[in-house]
Amino acid sequence: MNTTLSVEIKRQIENFTLDVAFNAPPGVTGIIGRSGAGKTMTLQAIAGLSRPESARITLGSDIFTDTGRNIFVGPEKRHIGYVFQEARLFPHVTVADNLDYGLARRGPDTPIPREEVIGLLGLRHLLDRRPHGLSGGEAQRVAIGRALLSAPRLLLMDEPLANLDIARRREVMPFLEALHEKLHLPIIFVSHNMEEVVRLADRVVVFDGGRVTAKGDMAEVLNRVDVQNLILGESGDDGLGTILNARVESHDDAENLTELAGNGFNLFVQRLPQPAGASVRLRLRARDVTIATAVPHGLSVQNVIEGNIEALEEAGKGQVDVSIRTREGETLLHALVTGRAARLLNLETGMPVWGLIKTVAIAGSASENRMTDLDR
């Protein structure tokens, strides 16, 4: 059954023009861009909370909006789950009652069992509480549970972590990752934070000034320097990086290490919980990669990636981004060096180099199946 969301929207509000088009198949599609890029406006149109001047929005064979044919389905008939930045729970009733409200609004599809949602989101010990007694992270988990219990055909999440502090974000993120593994429906996850999108999304759509500037496979799009430069100023991130897909090769319990294998590289990281053969996703900061122009010897650094310089680009005052393509040609690694270092090493495109990465620089938190976050 085709459950792909197809979106074409044109809308004018004062001096701002929204003109976007993209598809979102089952799985997580991240929409990322700076504040004011049109992300929330797009979600409101998908949900039926606004009527653009020109739009065609479909989910599979069902038409939600088609201005050319004067079709507009009301939001209550679209059976869409919508999770906002604020939890928006009913304050006068318990968590259990808030969840049951979602059940009462369920769509025609078979709902996810209530007990399964409670277990998936870790809500059992919260059922008798009222919203005022919840932390921000707990309240957002309840809001997500309420949306899921309505048996949505499509789940929209509008920066659900934006109002949470770092501790609460870390609390909620594993539950969002579990949803990705469990649900087989289109999920639109809107954020201006690259870290969140890297951890959750399969595909990504980049917004800038009301337009789609890039879209496609998450790693391919977010590894682009121009995309990173567009996003990083607002994401709270601290520099360019490389997204790497890898698998768990083996564990060394005595040394508390895990060996990861990717296309053209092997890396040692601190022990991960995933079993051998599991897929992981890494984001390695460019500032944590050191470059050698000869085969390195006698170093404490255990991670060495061999390749050739593909590009040299200015990355701020006195800094150069060095793009290194692995010998197998599959992986592009970014390294950030000073302009002085680039001159002293006589770096140039095509030159063979070795990227050195400390194990401690790529040791971070790991989720159950999805990602090792190397940006901590």
Among 53-57, 221-225, 274-278, the range with the most confident prediction by mean pLDDT is 53-57
Looking at 183-248, list the stretches that DSSP marks H as alpha helix, in order from N- to C-terminal side: 194-200, 218-222, 225-235
Position 183 scores a pLDDT of: 80
Give bridge partners of residue 110 from the DSSP assignment: none
Which residues have C-beta within 8 Å of that of residue 214, sequence separation ≥ 6?
A: 204, 205, 206, 221, 224, 227
Q: What mean pLDDT do residues 255-284 have?
A: 86
> How is residue 359 annotated by DSSP?
G
User: Domain ranges in the chain?
Assistant: 5-217, 241-362
Q: What mean pLDDT do residues 128-146 have?
A: 91
- Give dist(CA 131, CA 140) in Å, integer: 10
Which one is the CATH code of 5-217: 3.90.1150.10, 3.40.50.300, 3.30.70.330, 3.20.20.10?
3.40.50.300
- Give dist(CA 191, CA 61) in Å, integer: 28
Give me the phi and psi of 198, to 5 degrees please.
Answer: -60, -40
Q: Distance of CA 33 to CAs 47, 126, 203, Å?
A: 20, 34, 14
- Give dist(CA 261, CA 227) in Å, integer: 26
Reported confidence tier of residue 366, pLDDT bands at 50, 70, 90: very low
List, for residues 102-136, the tens digit of each pLDDT value. 887 776 665 678 888 898 888 999 999 999 999 88
Position 108 scores a pLDDT of: 63
Position 370 scores a pLDDT of: 41
Q: Residue 39 has which token pair? A: 């992300």
CATH assignment of 241-362?
2.40.50.100
Position 369 scores a pLDDT of: 38
Q: What mean pLDDT do residues 46-67 have?
A: 96
List, for residues 86-104, the tens digit of each pLDDT value. 888 999 999 999 998 888 7
- Give dist(CA 234, CA 144) in Å, integer: 25
> How is residue 147 annotated by DSSP?
H
**3-class DSSP state for residue 208?**
strand
Beta-strand pair 352-357/289-292: antiparallel
Which residues have C-beta within 8 Å of that of residue 109, sequence separation ≥ 6?
A: 79, 151, 153
pTM over 0.85: no
Q: Residue 250 has which token pair? A: 């083996």
Give bridge partners of residue 242 from the DSSP assignment: 284
Position 329 scores a pLDDT of: 67
Among 8-22, 112-126, 244-258, 270-284, the range with the most confident prediction by mean pLDDT is 8-22
| Two domains, one topology: 5-217 and 241-362 | no
The percentage of the chain sitting over the pLDDT mark of 70, rounded to a whole number, equals 91
Tell me the torsion sign for CA atoms 106, 107, 108, 112. negative
- Give dist(CA 357, CA 15) in Å, integer: 47
Give the residue carrying structure tokens 């005022």. Answer: 132
Give the amino acid at 204.
V
Position 245 scores a pLDDT of: 84
The percentage of the chain sitting over the pLDDT mark of 90, rounded to a whole number, equals 48
Give the residue carrying structure tokens 């320097």. Answer: 225
Q: Are 95 and 140 in contact (CB under 8 A)?
A: no
Q: Residue 161 has which token pair? A: 């972590």
Radius of gyration, alpha carbons of the chain:
23
**Between residues 92 and 238, which one has the greater pLDDT?**
92
**Between residues 240 and 57, which one has the greater pLDDT?**
57
Exposed, middle or buried, 132 (CB in 10 Å: 0-12/13-18/19+)?
exposed
Q: What mean pLDDT do residues 219-230 have?
A: 87
- Give dist(CA 316, CA 99) in Å, integer: 49
Position 309 scores a pLDDT of: 95
Q: Residue 81 has which token pair? A: 């789950």
Lowest-confidence pick of 9-23, 163-177, 198-212, 312-326? 163-177
Residue 112: name the closest of 157, 81, 78 by CA.
81
Position 116 scores a pLDDT of: 85
CB atoms within 10 A of CB 119: 12
Q: Residue 305 has which token pair? A: 């990636």
